[in-house]
Structures are given as structure tokens and as C-alpha cells.
Amino acid sequence: MDGIHDIGGRQGFGRVRYTLKAQTFHEPWERRVNALYSLAVKLGIFNMDEYRHAIERMEPRHYLSASYYERSLTSLATLCVEKGIVSQEELERRAQGHYPLSMPSAPGRGNVSTRQKLAIGDKVTVRVEHIPGHVRAPGYVRGKTGVVIGISPAYPFPDAHAHGIHADDEPTYDVRFNAEELWPNSADAAQVHVGIFESYLEKVA
């Protein structure tokens, strides 16, 4: 889905701020949130694609103002409500106020019927698609052309896995793009590698 979460590679956000040797956790509650969502995945309450999609579904202003672990907490709470583990009323009683959850999920999809097996050296283009559900192809490579330089084992197809839809597992391809192809007139002569699922790619003849 197109959303505020997919801003990688876009201009106008200034320099990326980072801290060397930054702390993983800053408050005790962050450790608990991290442990709880990991436990939920281990117990099979939800999977990682569902978890990621629930973060993507956050209201944009909430997403932008939230910290990393607040997004994790919102995803965890949303999925626990949707799975019937807890009610929103119970959450708000415990929080003593409004408890924001993610917006409802859109439908997912199965594998693309016209997908092709690819080989190292194949020239490929990322499909130009606007999918309402969960997608793992970053927006900045949509419609761009690159070369397959590696192949990873098959994994659950995220567009289906995040929505409980049956689909075949798919390999991901390590696709090499020229930075100048991704950002014309705005990039150094460099290469960018992106892992992309099979259904997102079309072979260039």
C-alpha cells in the first residue's frame, strides 16, 4: 500500500540523523513491548507481515509523531484487538483514556499469475502497481529497471501472508539498480541493491 511509512528514497526530508552506538532501548516499557510482540509471533497470534502491515495502517499523523517502539506497541495492540485477545474498551480502561489503534486493513492478494522464474544476469523492471494491502517493494524502485545479481530461498509472499490468504512461497531476487536511474540528476554514480519478491518483477526482453 502507498502510505506515510514508505518514504525511503524521497527528497525533501533533509539529512538522515543517526547516532553512533545508539542505545537499543531508552525506557523499560520499550523492552516489554519488544518482548511482547516477539512472544505473540512465537505463539502464532500473528506473523511478521501482519505486524508490519499494522504499522503501515497507522494514521499518518500518529505514525510521524510516534517513536519506533510506540509504532510497535500500536501494531501489537491493534492486532490483539483484531484477533480477539483484548478489547479496545479494556485497553482504554487500563490506559485511562483514548487508545489509538491502526486503521482497518484493506484486502490482500495472492501471487501474480504472470510471474516468471528469473536467473542471475536477467534485466528486470519493478511492476508499477498500487496495491491497497501489504507490499514489500519500496516505492522508490517502482517502474525502475535493474539487474538480478543474486537469488534467495523462497519465503511466504507478504502480500498474502499479511492477510491470511493462501499463496505459494516466492524467492526474493537481489536486484542491482544504478542510483542515477532511481534519482535522475540527483544522485552520485553508485549502485543500490534491493531484495524484491518474484511477483513484483517483470523480465525485460
18-40: pLDDT as tens digits: 889 999 999 999 999 999 999 99
- What residues have CB less than 8 Å from 156, skipping those under 6 apart? 47, 49, 167, 169
Q: Check residue 15 and give its pLDDT.
A: 83
Fold classification of 123-203 is SH3 type barrels. (2.30.30)
Domain spans of the chain, in order of start: 1-104, 123-203
> What's the pTM?
0.91
Fold classification of 1-104 is Cyclin A; domain 1 (1.10.472)
pLDDT digits (tens, 9 = 90+) for 5-18: 888 888 888 888 88
- For the chain, the straight-line distance linking the first and the last C-alpha, in angstroms and rounded, comes to 28
Q: Are 158 and 127 in contact (CB under 8 A)?
A: no
